[in-house]
Structures are given as structure tokens and as C-alpha cells.
Amino acid sequence: MTASLTDATTATTEVARSTELYQRAEARTAHNYHPLPVVVEHAEGAWMTDVDGKRFLDLLSGYSALNFGHGHPGLLRAAHEQLDRLTLTSRAFVHDRFADFCAELGDLCGKELVLPMNTGAEAVETAIKVSRKWGYEVKGVTPGHAKIIVSSGNFHGRTTTIVSFSDDPDAHNGFGPFTPGFQMVPYGDLEAIEAAIDADTVAVLIEPIQGEGGVVLPPDGFLRGLREVCTRENVLMVADEIQAGLGRTGKTFACDHEGVVPDVYVLGKALGGGIVPVSAIAADRDVLGVLRPGQHGSTFGGNPLACAVGLEVVRMLATGEHQDRAAELGVVLRDRLEALVGHGVLRVRTRGLWAGIDIDPAVGTGREVCEALMARGVLAKDTHGSTIRLAPPLVITAEDLAWGLDQLAEVVRAADPA
């Protein structure tokens, strides 16, 4: 159902509740985020409703964690059934959902083994540890010398090791001392990667599409070339598909667009169905087999609730239905956004149902455009000042998507001085 514009501008007495809760939250929490002033109470599909009863079309999907929309019935069913039965064992014991989750996720990835964790950053940390250990035990790198190549503009999470190799000053500055062992090269520059590889290099850690960076795509052929280089040089290709993977781009993995299979998949966000944090890495036995008892773990990683929901996610993806839908609606998204270039929009980058839109500074900042969209009942998120990221739930209807894009067109066109 499509909200009318008046839904987003109801009586001021009701708005007070949103404002009050927003201000109370701001007063009692660290300001590590700058949220839009909306206070959500419930949600269904692509729509969220705030505490004042106003409805908003969600074009962010929790940064792709809600690929299947809010309250997906199959995912909720899996969660409810599991909640009533068993929620946590720790990995000290095995639970009855663990084998199916690992096997079916492994099959989806075409990999022999899976190691479940919780957040994306933990999965990235896991991939880093496994790559280093593989380097020492399998490749024969001198202990303590392992090097991992990363990209400029990367975003892999917020742990101290991960922010050590971030070139975003906000993410990096003030959090040293930093973890050594990473070398940065320009994103998408295959020659720079080849030049950086030496005898100590154990892995190239790459986002096949940079999400936080503003949906930045590497040059055509880059992933294929990287695969060849990694194979030739005996270096692991580690693909962080946390935001790009699991249907978002119109294929199961963003690497699929170039027919490339990395050595290690790093997954998160949508794997938890928007219900629980579930992340994982998937790799073959020659890589993940380097871990032995006591060397890595997490109390909650692979817990029964996470596995029940994650298994349902994997089964939904195994049908290909959501990937096809993202591809189909992605054409609409691309065509509609490209029509805005030159009309308040400088550039757009899309892949499947995912877009980075560079707003003409003459129109306003990304934040200002998101605020104007919010006033019209559409929620999106700015990144890096002047870029807006759109990641609608893959279950959005074509009508709702068209309506949301109408709002964006009206906002940027109304403010376009040209």
C-alpha cells in the first residue's frame, strides 16, 4: 500500500511523542550515530510506522540487513518456533539446527565449511585470523609477518583491528595504536594489488562493491582479474559480501556478476533476516581447516535462534526468487535514477536493487535531501556528505518503489537551481 504525502505530516500534538522520545534517546546515549528524527514503533514489509502513527517507506533496509523486509512471515515463523524450543547452548554442545545451517549455507556458497559468528565485524575478524593462520601453516609465511592487502575507501566494521586499515578519518583517527599487517591500495586497481603482493602476502580483502563508500563498483573485469592474480600468487581472495551479498545486487553474491568464486566469503547482515545478528565465513577445508579447538570462537556464534533464522534465509535464497526480483526491480531503479542525472543529481551507481546517488551540492547535502524525503514519508540514508544510498527491501512492490522514487525526484528537482 502506498502512503499519501499527508500520512507523513499529521497533527503536531502527535509529533511531540516522536520528538520527546528522540530527545530522550539523544540525552542518554553516546552520539556515535546521527539518526534521522524518526522513532519507529512497528514495521511490515517495506513500511515502517512511527510512534505517532506516521508511515514511512523504508529505502534503507537496515543497510541491507532487512533484504527480505520487516516481519517476513517465514522468518518470523522460524524464529517463533525456535524461541519456544531452544535459544542458546553455546558451542560447548551441539544443537539440532547447527548441522543444517552450516551445510546449507556452505552449499549456497559452494564451500565445504562454515564458521558462524554474530556481527559483520566479527566475521571480518574471523577471516583475518584464518587468513593469517593459513599463511603461516599452509603457505609458509614467516611467523608474525603476514600481510593482507586492503582497499582505499573500505568499510569492514568497527573493531580496533579493522579501523586500523580504514582511511576514513572518522572511523580511524583517535583509536590507535593500530594493528599492523595491512597494506592499502586504490580500490579496483589490479596493478596496484599485483605490485603490493610479496612473499608475506596471505590475502586480499575486498568488498566486491563498496557499500559504505557509496555503492562504488570496481572497473569491469576487476574481480575476475583479482581471482586470477590471487590464484597465481597463492594468496587468498577474501570477499566481504556482508552488505553486497545475499540477493541485494540481483545475484546471490556480488562476485557472481563476474562469475568469480572467492576463497573466503564473509557474510552478515541479511543472513540474520533482520531478526538476529548472524554472520559467518565460508571457505573450503584447506583454508578453514586451520582452526582447531580453542583458537577462535564466540559464545553466541551459531546459536540455535540464529541458525533457525539463518537457515530459513538460506532456503529462501536457494530458490533464486529474491535475486530475480532484485534484478527485475533494479532495472526500474536504474532507469528512474539515471533520468535524474543533470536534474539535481550528479551521478548514480546501481547494481540490482542498490544505488549510490551523488547529489548536486547546489541542491543540498545528502542529509538535507534525506530530511526532505523523510518529510514526504520516505527513509533513506546519506553517506560521505553528498551521497545517498538506496537499498529497498527486495520484497518492495513495484508501485511502492515507483512512489518512493517519485518523492526523490520531486525533492531533488524542487531544489535544483538549474
Ligand X SMILES: Cc1ncc(COP(=O)(O)O)c(C=O)c1O
* Residues engaged in binding ligand X (CB under 6 A): 63, 119-121, 124, 155-157, 207, 211-212, 240, 242-243, 268
Q: How far is the CB of 394 from ligand X (least distance, A)?
A: 17
Q: How far is the CB of 216 from ligand X (least distance, A)?
A: 11
Count of CB atoms situated within 10 Å of the CB of 217: 21
Q: How far is the CB of 414 from ligand X (least distance, A)?
A: 31
Active-site residue, from 155, 222, 253, 300: 155
Task: Please say which residue, 29 or 231, places its beta carbon nearer to ligand X.
Answer: 29
C-alpha cell at 393: 527491501
Active-site residue, from 52, 240, 360, 382: 240
Coil, strand, or helix at residue 23?
helix
Residue 273, CA atoms < 13 Å, CB-side half-sphere: 24
Annotation says 324 is catalytic: no
Task: Please say which residue, 52 or 125, places its beta carbon nearer to ligand X.
Answer: 125
The Cα–Cα gap between 316 and 104 comes to 11
Of 68, 81, 100, 140, which is closest to residue 321 (Cα–Cα)? 68
The Cα–Cα gap between 198 and 127 comes to 20
Task: Please say which residue, 121 or 317, places its beta carbon nearer to ligand X.
Answer: 121
Q: Which helix (H) or strand (E) holds 202?
A: strand 201-206
Contact 119, 271 (CB under 8 A): no
Count of CB atoms situated within 10 Å of the CB of 35: 12
Annotation says 167 is catalytic: no
Q: How far is the CB of 267 from ligand X (least distance, A)?
A: 10
Q: How far is the CB of 241 from ligand X (least distance, A)?
A: 8
Q: Which residue is nearest to ligand X (CB)?
A: 120
The Cα–Cα gap between 326 and 350 comes to 11
Q: Which helix (H) or strand (E) holds 62?
A: helix 61-64
Task: Please say which residue, 156 or 351, places its beta carbon nearer to ligand X.
Answer: 156
The conformation of residue 55, written as its DSSP 8-state character, comes to E
Amino acid identity, residue 157?
Answer: G
Q: Which helix (H) or strand (E) holds 224?
A: helix 222-233
Task: Please say which residue, 240 or 360, places its beta carbon nearer to ligand X.
Answer: 240
Q: How far is the CB of 160 from ligand X (least distance, A)?
A: 13
Annotation says 84 is catalytic: no
Q: DSSP letters along 274-302, please? A: TTS--EEEEE-HHHHTT--TTSS--SSTT
Phi and psi angles of residue 120, each rounded to the nearest 5 degrees, phi first: -60, -45
The conformation of residue 70, written as its DSSP 8-state character, comes to B
Coil, strand, or helix at residue 183?
strand
Q: How far is the CB of 282 from ligand X (least distance, A)?
A: 15
Active-site residue, from 58, 269, 300, 382: 269
Annotated catalytic residues are 155, 240, 269
